[in-house]
Amino acid sequence: MEKLVVHSLINFPQDLEEFLEGIPLEFLEPAHRKIIDAVIDLSRDKRLITRETLLLELGEGFCQGQDFLEVFNADCTPDYINLKEDFKKFLALKVQRKLANELAKASLNSEIYDLEFINRYISIEPSQNGALLSEYIKRFASMPPLAKLSTGVSFFDEILGGGFEVGRFVLVSGDAETGKTLLCQQFLEFMALEHKVCYFSFEFPVRGYVDHLLRRKFYFNPENLYLDGDSQHLNDLSARIKSLARKGFKAFLIDSQMRVMGYGDAINSKEEFESSKFTVLSSLAKSLEVLIILIIQNSKDDEFAPFGSKKGSHEADIMFRISRLKKFELKRLNFDEEHGFLMRKITTLKNKQTGLQTFKYFRIDQKSFKFVHIEGNKKGQPRLFYRRED
Assess contact for 285 and 249: CB atoms under 8 A: no
pLDDT tens for the chain, 390 residues long, are 899 999 999 999 888 888 888 888 888 899 999 999 999 888 888 889 988 999 898 898 999 899 999 998 999 999 999 998 898 888 888 888 887 887 787 777 766 565 555 565 555 344 466 788 988 888 888 888 888 999 999 899 999 999 999 999 999 999 888 999 999 999 999 999 999 999 999 999 999 999 999 998 899 999 999 999 999 998 889 989 999 999 999 999 999 999 998 765 445 678 888 888 999 999 999 999 999 999 998 877 777 788 888 888 999 999 999 998 888 888 887 777 667 788 899 999 999 999 999 999 898 887 788 867 554 444 434 333 333 343
* 371 located within any domain: yes
Residues 88 and 172 placed together within one structural domain of the fold: no
The CATH number for 364's domain is: 3.40.50.300
The helix (H) or strand (E) run that includes residue 211 is: helix 206-215
Asked if residue 389 is part of any domain, the answer here is no
Q: Are residues 98 and 155 in the same domain?
A: no
Q: Is residue 133 part of a domain?
A: no
Residue 17 and residue 82 share a domain: yes
Does 340 fall in a domain? yes
181 to 2, 202, 254: CA distances (angstroms)? 54, 11, 9
CATH number at residue 58: 1.10.860.10
Count up the domains in the chain and report the number.
2
In a domain, 142, yes or no: no
Residues spanned by the domain of 203:
148-382
Q: Does 131 map to a domain?
A: no
Residues 204 and 66 placed together within one structural domain of the fold: no
Q: 110 and 157, same structural domain?
A: no
Q: Give the start-end residues of each E strand in the chain.
A: 148-149, 164-165, 169-174, 196-201, 225-228, 249-255, 291-295, 318-324, 343-351, 359-364, 369-376, 382-386
Residues 250 and 194 in one domain: yes
| pTM, rounded to two decimals | 0.64
Q: What pLDDT sits at residue 119?
A: 61
Report d(CA 9, CA 167) in Å as an integer: 51
Q: Is 346 helix (H, G, I), strand (E, B) or coil?
A: strand
